[in-house]
Amino acid sequence: MGSLPSFILASASPRRRELLREAGIAFEGIPARVDESLSQGEAPLDYALRLAKEKAWQVAELHPGRWVLGADTIVVLTQDNGIERILGKPESKEEAARILSALSGKRHWVTTACALVMTQGESPHPVRIETFHVTSEVWFRKLSEAEIWAYVRTGEPMDKAGAYAIQGGAANFVEKFHGSWSNIVGLPMEELQAHLARVM
């Protein structure tokens, strides 16, 4: 029986797993279960980094000596009043439609925060922890209500931050984007591979 990969992905996301497989990175998937509630007054980036660290730490504690990646992707829209709004995963079809309506014809930001953690033996302290984040800009064209509901009815928006998948049915909603495409999907592969090359 072969040895386990030294790298663990603390996520059940099929998109993150596919990105790792496409890059030829051997990994074991062990999903973390953390409370994803936003703390009062918490800035979007602080929120994403906190969740990434909590996910990685939860799994790393149970698997000492192995690098664990936690990641959290958020979609942020600056509202007319200048306040940044995090657009999370919709809990209903109606909420998915509202999120997509909010994104229609506007620019938004997709940030993925990542944390690499390794614990040692029985010590509760990490041998090492590295965090990084990548932000991409995305512009949606103006969407009709019919388009929005046709997409919502496919079911694809329901487990996605921002209620869309750029690699899926929402590809034709995007006028343009700046930055990492894989980051918008769920993992900034260029930066991740650079970090993994340093630590493994």
Mind listing the pLDDT tens digit of every residue in the chain (200 residues)?
A: 345 678 999 999 999 999 999 999 999 999 999 999 999 989 999 999 999 999 999 999 999 999 999 999 999 999 888 889 999 999 999 999 999 999 999 999 999 999 999 998 666 666 889 999 999 999 999 999 999 999 999 999 998 999 999 999 999 999 999 999 999 999 999 999 999 998 87
Q: Which of 35, 72, 80, 159 is catalytic?
A: 72
Single-letter amino acid code for the residue at 106: K
7-199, which class in CATH?
alpha beta
CA distance 30 to 11: 6
Name the burial class of residue 193, with classes exposed (0-12), middle (13-18) and buried (19+) by CB atoms within 10 angstroms of its CB: middle
72 catalytically annotated: yes
